[in-house]
Structure 1
Amino acid sequence: MEATDVAIDEAQVLEKLERLLESEDAAVEPLTELLGSLDARETARAVCELPIEQQAELLRRLSPEAAVEVLDTLPEVTVVEAVEELPADVAAAIVHELPSDDQADLIGAMDSAAAAAVLAELADDEAERIAELAAYPEDCAGGLMATEVVALRDIATVETTLRRLRAGATKLRDLDVQYAYVVAKGRRLVGVLRLRDLLIADERSRLTEIMIADPLSIPAETPLDELIAFFDSNSFLGVPVVDGEGRLLGVVSRRAVDEAAEEQATSDYRRSMGVVAEELRSMPVLRRSRMRLSWLSVNILLNVVAASVIAAYEETLSSVIALAVFLPIISDMSGCSGNQAVAVSMRELSLGLLRPSEWLRVWIKEGSVGFLNGLVLGGLLGVVAALYAGNVWMGIVVGGALAINTLVAVLLGGVIPLALKRAGVDPALASSPLLTTVTDMCGFFSALSLATLLLDKLV
Structure 2
Amino acid sequence: QTVGNVLKQLASDDDDFDRYRGQHPYILDADGRPVGVVSLRGLLTAKRSMPLTDIMITPMTVNVDASLEALDDIFSEHPFLGIPVVETDGRLVGVVSRSAVSQALLERSESETLKLQGLVGDELRSMPTWLRSKRRLAWLSANIVLNIIAASVISAYEETLTAVIAIAIFLPMVSDMSGCSGNQAVGVTMRELSLGLVRPVDAMRVWLKEISVGVINGIALGILIGLVAWIWKGQPALGLVIGLALALNTMLAVSIGGVVPLLLKRLGQDPAAASGPLLTTVTDMAGFFFVLSLATLMMPWLI
Q: Paired residue for 1:447?
A: 291
> Take 1:331 and 1:189, find their aligned partners in 2: how far apart are those partners?
58
For residues 129-172 of structure 1, the C-alpha deviation after alignment (integer angstroms, 9 at most, x for no partner) is: xxxxxxxxxxxxxxxxxxxxxxxxxxx345665677688x4862
Q: Is the 8 A contact 2:109 2:194 kept in 1?
A: no
Distance 1:353 1:163 in 2: 44
Aligned residues of 1:226 and 1:351 also touching (Cα < 8 A): no
Residue number in structure 1 paired with 2:26: 181
Aligned to 1:382: 226
How far apart, CA to CA, are the structure 2 residues paired with 1:291 and 1:363? 32
Question: What fraction of aligned residue pairs are identical, expressed as a percent?
Answer: 53
Pair 1:456-2:289 in alignment: no
- Tell whether the 8 Å contact from 2:3 to 2:49 is kept in structure 1 after alignment: yes
Q: How far does the alpha carbon of each residue in 1:289-316 deviate from its partner, in whole angstroms, 9 at most, with x for none?
A: 1222122212222222212211222232
Question: How far did residue 385 of structure 1 move?
Answer: 0.8
The aligned residue for residue 247 of structure 1 is 91
Q: Which moved more, 1:245-254 or 1:262-271?
A: 245-254
1:341 to 185, 191, 197: 185
User: In the alignment, what sits opposite 1:234?
Assistant: 78
| Residue of 297, 306, 313 corresponding to 2:157 | 313
Deviations 1:409-458 (A, max 9, x none): 12222221121111011222211111111111000011111122222322
Partner of residue 392, structure 1: 236
TM-score of the two chains, using structure 1 as the length reference: 0.60
- 1:437 to 2:252 alignment: no
Q: Give the C-alpha shift of residue 325 in structure 1.
A: 0.9
| Contact map agreement 1:241 1:249 (CA 8 A) in 2 | yes
Structure 2: which 5+ runs fail to align? none
Secondary structure, counterpart of 1:186 in structure 2: coil
Q: Which moved more, 1:339-348 or 1:273-282?
A: 339-348
Q: Aligned-pair RMSD on alpha carbons?
A: 2.5
Quick check: 1:265 aligned with 2:109? yes
User: Residue 53 of structure 2 is aligned with which of 208, 228, 232?
Assistant: 208
- Higher relative contact order, chain-length normalized (CA < 8 Å, sep 6+): 2
Distance between the aligned counterparts of 2:165 and 2:30, measured in 1?
A: 82
CA distance in 2, matches of 1:353, 1:233: 13
Label 1:186 to 1:402 Cα distance change in 2 as closer, same or farther (>3 A).
same
Moved over 6 A (4+): 162-167
1:404 and 1:368 map into 2 onto residues whose CA distance is 13
Which of 364, 374, 377 is 2:208 aligned to?
A: 364
2-structure distance, mates of 1:385, 1:259: 48
State the alpha-carbon separation in 2 of the partners of residues 231 and 361 from structure 1. 25
| 1:404 match | 248
* Alignment partners' CA distance in 1, 2:268 and 2:14: 47
Letter in 2 for 1:308: S
Change (3 A) 1:344 1:173: closer
- Provide the C-alpha distance between the structure 1 equivalents of 2:301 and 2:273, rounded to a whole number of angstroms: 43
Indicate the residue corresponding to 1:296 in structure 2: 140
